[in-house]
Amino acid sequence: MLTWQIGDVRVTQIVELTTASLGKYILPQATPDVLTPIRWLAPFLDDGHPVLSIHSLVVESQGETLLVDTCIGNDKERAYPRWHQMQGDFLERFRAAGFAEDRVDQVMCTHMHVDHVGWNTRLVGERWVPTFTRARYLFAEDEWAHWSVEPQEYGPVFEDSVQPIMDAGLAHLVPSDHRVTDEVWLEPTPGHTPGHVSVHIASAGEEAVITGDMIHHPCQIAHPHWSSTADWNQHMSANTRSTFLERYADRPVLVIGTHFAAPTAGRIVRDGAAYRLDY
């Protein structure tokens, strides 16, 4: 479990799982012969292959407990065999970190893909019910509009992890620049999905950005033009990523990767014609 302090805001990582099995599918460009020579990527590789972490980030701001993305979840019907009817210990890890489901005030999903909304709900009997019973679940309006009519390839993700939140009256559709607290707000970063957002934190003169899937793996910092096969619009995602890296390069802004394995966070610095993560 990693934690970061950004001014008065505390961010805690809760890992559901890490894997080196997905990289060759979502980033086929990222082969060992290309990645291994990039020495700063070493912590994010396993035998030259990209390692991805699937985790939530708990953001504590101004007395509120905010949860960014909710991973894969248990008991879900999924097309990907390793995630089908998964039985993990995410909630036990969440509690061991000092948090409780009924103390979460707001849940923010950067987008509605399978590995970002799973623990929105849990199975009780034969019904999917909200996991975080007191929380307001924030969904970007454009993201909701897209996935409420577009099926997902990994299974009934919207049906078991998003629609039950709306049915329970806990869903709040918000603009892509919605301010969550005075210290935390959403920033539109479309391309991976139509309504994808990142999360910006600014407190006491310090800043951080939680990427979402605008950047899946740190190798895309070295190669910003590499788009994921999972991107809804690869050209748009590359442009969004390049703009982000240009904006934050050589600035004291902590970038926390939603799928970055440990050390998970660092600062963007220029590295010749591209960039690297200084951790």
| Secondary structure, 3-state, 127-149 | EEEECCCCCEEEEEHHHHHHHCC
Q: Which residues in the chain land under pLDDT 50?
A: none
pLDDT in tens, 211-256: 999 999 999 999 999 999 999 999 999 999 999 999 999 999 999 9
Question: Cα–Cα distances in Å, from 237 out to 137, 188, 233?
Answer: 25, 12, 6
Q: Are 57 and 12 in contact (CB under 8 A)?
A: yes
Q: Which residues contact 240 (CB under 8 A, 6 or more apart)?
A: 189, 190, 191, 214
pLDDT in tens, 249-260: 999 999 999 999
Beta-strand pair 265-271/253-256: antiparallel
Question: Cα–Cα distances in Å, from 259 out to 10, 128, 183?
Answer: 19, 26, 23
pLDDT score at 277? 98
Q: What's the distance, CA 76 to chain centroid?
A: 19
Q: Are 218 and 226 in contact (CB under 8 A)?
A: no
pLDDT score at 24? 85
CA angle 209, 57, 70 (to 5 degrees): 120
Quote the CA–CA distance of 101 and 122 in Å, as a whole number: 11
Q: Cβ of 48: how many Cβ atoms within 10 Å?
A: 17
Quote the CA–CA distance of 30 and 27 in Å, as a whole number: 6
CA angle 134, 140, 142 (to 5 degrees): 145
Quote the CA–CA distance of 66 and 218 in Å, as a whole number: 25
Quote the CA–CA distance of 108 and 232 in Å, as a whole number: 20
Residue-range domains of the chain with CATH: 3-278 (3.60.15.10)
Q: What is the pTM of this model?
A: 0.97
pLDDT score at 23? 85
pLDDT score at 43? 98
Quote the CA–CA distance of 27 and 40 in Å, as a whole number: 18
Considering only CA atoms, which of 45, 56, 39 is closest in space to residue 2?
56
φ/ψ of residue 221, rounded to 5 = -75, -40
Which single residue is written with the structure tokens 């990209």? 50
